[in-house]
Amino acid sequence: EQHINETLLQGFIADAIDDNCDTISARKMRALLALNELKNYALDKGYTRDEIKSFVTDKTEKARGKAEAAARLAELGAEQGKPETYCAIGEAEIAKDSLIGQLLRSDK
> What tens digit of pLDDT does each residue of 50-74 get?
999 998 899 999 999 999 999 999 9
Cα within 13 Å of Cα(88), Cβ side: 10
Give the whole-angstrom CA distance, residue 97 versus residue 91: 10
Q: What is the average pLDDT across 5-12?
A: 95
Of the chain, the percentage scoring pLDDT greater than 90 comes to 94
Neighbouring residues of 10: CB distance < 8 A, sequence distance ≥ 6: 98, 99, 100, 103
Mean pLDDT of the chain: 96
Predicted confidence (pLDDT) per residue in 74-103, tens digit: 999 999 999 999 999 999 999 999 999 999
pLDDT tens-digit profile of 37-51? 999 999 999 999 999
